[in-house]
Each structure stands twice: as C-alpha cells, then as structure tokens.
Structure 1
Amino acid sequence: MKIAPNLARPKEPTIALINVVFLMLVFFMIAGTLAPPLDPDLSLIKAQDLDGRAPPDTLVIHEDGKLWLRGVELTSASAFMERLPDDDRSVVRIVPDRDLPAKDLIAISDELRSHGAERILLVSERGLQ
C-alpha cells in the first residue's frame, strides 16, 4: 500500500513577521522622542502674516538685467555696492527674476564679488512667502 505524500504547504512564520513589525514600531517611537521637546511656555512666531517683500538693502534684478535698489534703477552692480554701508558689503542679498538668464546672474555675482561681496544670498520665492 502506497502512502500519499503530504501536499499541504508548510505554514509561514507569521508570528516572526509580527514580532519584527512590532520591534520596528517600538524603535521608531523611541527614536522620535529622543529630541528634547520644546519648552511648553515658548510660543513660536507665525511667518504667514509677514509681508512678501524684499529686505531693504536687496538688489533686485529683472529679467532684462535691470538692477533696482529701493525703487531706484542702478547702472551696474558696482553702483549697488557703493550705496551700501561699509559694514554691510560682505554679505549681499539679491532677488533675481525667475527668467533672468544664468549667465547674466553669474556676471552680476562676479561683479559684486570683485567689489567686496564675500557672500551672495539669493532670495527665492519660498523665502518671501
């Protein structure tokens, strides 16, 4: 008499999978609480109420390459640097138009650096929101 082979599939170890998922859950809960919580008495500022305008000593560069400072058109980046106080010349903020060609932006940045700008900060749309 022949005995039929056992064709039943072996059971998959679901308990081991549940244990792994539980351990991952515990790990992420602990890892998420490692950062010290903020002081409960601290109230953060709300940036959504701020005006969407450039800082006062910011060089605005239009698509056609025209330079503006506080509503006045400038002839060159060196004219912008001359209008800044001596202590503000090391860090310069510029707001370039989105459609300004990159080669023009690089040329203006090079001119600003040649006149004493050590750092040039680009103010983007997200920064003004």
Structure 2
Amino acid sequence: MRKPRHRTRIEPTIALINIVFLMLVFFMVASTIAPPMDRDLRLVSTSDLDGRAPPDTLVVHPDGRLTYRGEAVASAQAFYAARPEDEREVVRIVPDKALAAITLVNLARDLRASGASRVVIVTQRGLE
C-alpha cells in the first residue's frame, strides 16, 4: 500500500482579491461622496474685492503710528481708555507687514497692562 501524498493546499487569494476589488468598485459607483451642486449655480468671484482692516481694529503702521477707524491714536492706553466698556475684553490689532516685532510685542504688553484680557493679532492667511 502506498502512503497518500500530502499536497499543500494553495489558498485562493486571487479570488479574494477579486471579490474585494469588485466590492470597492460597487461602493464607489453606488454612493456619492458629496451631493452634487446645482448645475445652474454660479459661485461669487472675490478677486475684485478690496482688502481692508476690520473697522473695530487698531491699525499699526510700519513706523509705529496707531490709527483707529482712520483717526490717529496717541497711545495704546488712550485707545483702550476710549473703547466702550463692552468692547474692552478683546482688542484686535492689524499690524503692517513691515512693523518691527518688538514694537508689536510692546504694544500688546501695553494693552494687557491697560486691562485687555486678550489681544488678537489679525493677519492675512497665506494661500501659497
């Protein structure tokens, strides 16, 4: 009598890969990732808009001058004292790109010393 040979069984991984691939294709075709927009919709173009500082911010020029709503401001303390009571908690600053960092830090320190609980620096987001 002969001994039966032990055959190594090859796993059908190719069939499993094919099934998974078919399921992937099925779900990609059957579902949408995001609902499509209306074909008649035209998005707003913002390329022609003028960029300007928000009206409730303290603008700091490269030479250290302070302006608020186009009017000159003598100092950070004078700016903070002139603000209404409900707008004193958060102070927004728009610094010029060429402003020295130490000037900005000193201005923020002066505003905090005057009583502002938060000093927010408004910047332009880079899209490059």
Change in Cα spacing, 1:101 to 1:86, as seen in structure 2 (3 Å) is same
User: Which structure would you say has the larger Rg?
Assistant: 2
- In structure 1, the residue matched to 2:116 is 117
- In structure 1, the residue matched to 2:77 is 78
| Structure 1: segments with no counterpart, 5+ residues | 1-13, 38-45
- In structure 1, the residue matched to 2:56 is 57
Contact 1:61 1:95 in 2 (8 A): yes
1:93 maps to 2:92: yes
| Structure 2: segments with no counterpart, 5+ residues | 1-12, 36-43
Change in Cα spacing, 1:47 to 1:125, as seen in structure 2 (3 Å) is farther
- Highest relative contact order (Cα 8 Å, sep 6+), 1 or 2? 1
CA distance in 1, matches of 2:77, 2:45: 33
CA distance in 1, matches of 2:45, 2:115: 32
Contact 1:57 1:84 in 2 (8 A): no
CA RMSD, Structure 1 to Structure 2 (Å): 3.7
TM-score (norm 1): 0.60
Q: Which is richer in helix? A: 1
Percent identity over paired residues: 57
CA distance in 2, matches of 1:125, 1:103: 20
TM-score (norm 2): 0.61
